[in-house]
Amino acid sequence: MRTNISRHKIRSPFVAKVEELSGQNLLACYQCGKCSAGCPAVYQMDILPNQIIRFIQLGLKEELLKSNSIWICASCMTCNVRCPKGINIAEAIEAVRQILLRKREDHVKVEELSDSERGNVPPIALISNFRKFTS
Amino acid sequence: MKLSYFPGCTLKNKAKNFEDSALCSLKKLGVEVEEISRWNCCGTVYSLTTDDLIHHVAPIRNLIRAKEAGSDRLMTLCAMCYNTLKRSNERVRSNPEDLDIINDLMYKEEIDYKGDVDVVHLLEILKNEIKLENIAKKAIKPLKGLKVASYYGCYLVRPQEIGFDDMENPMIMDELMTALGAEAIDFPHKVECCGAYQTVDKPEIIADRANQILSSAVKQGAEVVIVSCPLCSFNLDQRQKETQQKFPEFKNIPILYFSQLLAIALGCPQDSLRLDLHYIDPKPILKEKGLI
Ligand code: SF4
Ligand code: SF4
Ligand code: SF4
Ligand code: SF4
């Protein structure tokens, strides 16, 4: 993957927005990788949790918005409770998700789910899924 | 002891086995439970963004209902409801300006919320108030010889502000099972996320996780796995169908709520267990151990 880094991106409104929505000081991350080491979902992610934090620091907005990782993360909080710098990684990922969802770019299209997909699962699954993946 | 109780929506339908068995157990333990009136869904997940106050209205409104019932605490059974209610509660307690805004959003409520209701989970009540040794004395049908792995998942233990137990090695359900006469089986995946709500649009992820989590419990010798969350239960029980399809060597194992085993030990009638609601039938192993 070819990526261009620039001062312009690092100081972009995108970085400020993620920091604001997540309430996290992401520059505190020193890339130890512990968040990714314990994440049960990494085997399906195209950008690992520690890389997500690095990408945010660098303002790599396009790469983050099109990554599958933000939809694979289940906010299980394992990374948060293990980060030696006290960073809430799940909140940072939520912020990136929210930037898309708030533009009405839903990840799950309720009307496209089949009757069996909707009917078999319990309310707790549907409600949490829609809360996380729709606007 | 009298407790205000918040069931949440799933316990009223797909997880009737959780609710009925827990309520019967509490009755046997002499605890009076009163379901709060006009409760609403808590929203299932705690809102993670700093500015999203509207999603704290639903959980906080339930705490107002508890106050209206004259209660200063609210008990939940579902681990997800517990997490959401408790985190929203902690958030407004430590951010009074947020609480003012949330109260304003609920201007039609007759009373304001002031951070004065505690959210408690049934397991906390059992361990800290009723006490496990007293429960053990009331176990008229001990779970002798049953090998039980306790699966905690995420919402009961993380993050720290929520947990009433160690985040990496919680023991509360293991201790309860030991008190009831069962053999508690330790296994390395007890706090590993099952994939949660991914189950709706990405069930293949759940198959991977269920395979890992349950195979690990089976390998340690577990005969059943217990849970405290209807979503864990759905993913680990019903999704064994998809798990089996994806991993032919996968071995099925029954999933129960901890409250069902508690109810058995306390001598609750079998209809309170709702064993008909399971995908992997737990009856054969329970019969084999002489428990039903
Ligand atoms: S665990 Fe924390 S410090 Fe380490 S890479 Fe992850 S976010 Fe950065
Ligand atoms: S919260 Fe997301 S990134 Fe963190 S460990 Fe869980 S799935 Fe991985
Ligand atoms: S968390 Fe679930 S069970 Fe709890 S109220 Fe909400 S949807 Fe219902
Ligand atoms: S459903 Fe999965 S994600 Fe939730 S508490 Fe249960 S283990 Fe965690």
Q: Write b or e for each residue in B238-251: b if 16 or more Cβ atoms lie within 10 A of its Cβ, otherwise e.
A: bbbebbbeeeeebe
Write the CATH number for B274: 3.40.50.11810
Whether B117 and B140 share a structural domain: no
Residue of minimum CA distance from atom 3 in ligand 1: A29
Write the CATH number for B53: 1.20.1050.140
Tens digit of each residue's pLDDT (9 = 90 or more) over A43-73: 999 999 999 999 999 999 999 999 999 999 9
Among the bound ligands, name the one nearest to the CA of residue B197.
Answer: 4
Among B179, B156, B178, CA closest to B168: B156
Whether A66 and A122 share a structural domain: no
Angstrom distance (rounded) from CA B78 to CA B83: 9
Angstrom distance (rounded) from CA B247 to CA B105: 50
Whether A36 and A20 share a structural domain: yes
Whether B151 and B258 share a structural domain: yes
Q: Is there a contact between A68 and A48 (Cβ–Cβ < 8 Å)? A: no
Whether B153 and B248 share a structural domain: yes
Whether A60 and A80 share a structural domain: yes
Whether B258 and B152 share a structural domain: yes
Task: Please tell me the predicted confidence (pLDDT) of residue A120.
Answer: 87
Domain-ending residue, one of B81, B102, B122: B122
Q: Is residue A1 part of a domain?
A: no
Angstrom distance (rounded) from CA B200 to CA A112: 12
Whether A113 and A98 share a structural domain: no
Among the bound ligands, name the one nearest to the CA of residue A96.
Answer: 2
Tens digit of each residue's pLDDT (9 = 90 or more) over B75-90: 999 999 999 999 999 9
Sheet architecture: strand order including B224-227? B183-185, B147-150, B224-227, B255-257
Tens digit of each residue's pLDDT (9 = 90 or more) over A65-98: 999 999 999 999 999 999 999 999 999 999 999 9
Q: B57 vs B120, B161, B243, CA distance in Å?
A: 19, 20, 37
Mutate to test the pocket of ligand 1, among A18, A25, A50 (most ligand atoms within 8 A of CB): A50
Element (H, E) at B119: strand B118-121
Q: Is residue A2 part of a domain?
A: no
* pLDDT over 90 percentage in chain B: 97
Cβ distance A122 to B234 less than 8 Å, yes or no, reads: yes
Q: Report residues whose beta carbon is within 6 angstroms of any ligand 1 atom.
A: A 29-35, 50, 53, 83-85, 87, 89
What backbone phi and psi angles, to 5 degrees, belong to B114?
-125, 20
Q: Checking phi first, is residue A68 left (phi over 0); if not, alpha (psi -120 to 50) or beta?
A: alpha
Whether B145 and B263 share a structural domain: yes
Whether A34 and A84 share a structural domain: yes
Write the CATH number for A87: 1.10.1060.10
Domains identified in chain B, total number: 2
Residue range(s) defining the domain that contains residue B37: 2-122
Whether B118 and B146 share a structural domain: no
* pLDDT over 90 percentage in chain A: 88
Domains identified in chain A, total number: 2
Whether A128 and A74 share a structural domain: no
Task: Please tell me the predicted confidence (pLDDT) of residue A4.
Answer: 87
Domain-ending residue, one of B96, B122, B148: B122
Residues with Cβ within 8 Å of B284's Cβ and at least 6 positions away in sequence, in order, are: none
Whether A94 and A34 share a structural domain: yes
Whether B98 and B174 share a structural domain: no
Whether B178 and B117 share a structural domain: no
Residue range(s) defining the domain that contains residue A132: 108-135
* A78 CA → ligand 1 middle, Å: 12
Positive or negative torsion for Cα B9, B12, B15, B17: positive
Tens digit of each residue's pLDDT (9 = 90 or more) over B187-239: 999 999 999 999 999 999 999 999 999 999 999 999 999 999 999 999 999 99
Q: Is there a contact between B258 and B126 (Cβ–Cβ < 8 Å)? A: no
Q: Is residue A61 part of a domain?
A: yes
Q: Is residue A94 part of a domain?
A: yes
Task: Please tell me the predicted confidence (pLDDT) of residue B41.
Answer: 95
Decide if A18 touches B, using CB distance below 8 A: no
Cβ distance B154 to A124 less than 8 Å, yes or no, reads: no
Whether A76 and A33 share a structural domain: yes
| ipTM associated with this complex | 0.95
Task: Please tell me the predicted confidence (pLDDT) of residue B103.
Answer: 98
Sheet architecture: strand order including B118-121? B32-35, B2-6, B73-76, B118-121
Cβ neighbour number for residue A43 with a 10 Å cutoff: 9
Whether A13 and A64 share a structural domain: yes
Whether B58 and B141 share a structural domain: no
Whether B220 and B260 share a structural domain: yes
Whether A62 and A29 share a structural domain: yes
Whether B94 and B137 share a structural domain: no
Whether B136 and B260 share a structural domain: yes
Decide if A17 touches B, using CB distance below 8 A: no
What confidence tier does B272 reach under pLDDT thresholds 50, 70, 90? very high
Domain-ending residue, one of B68, B87, B122: B122
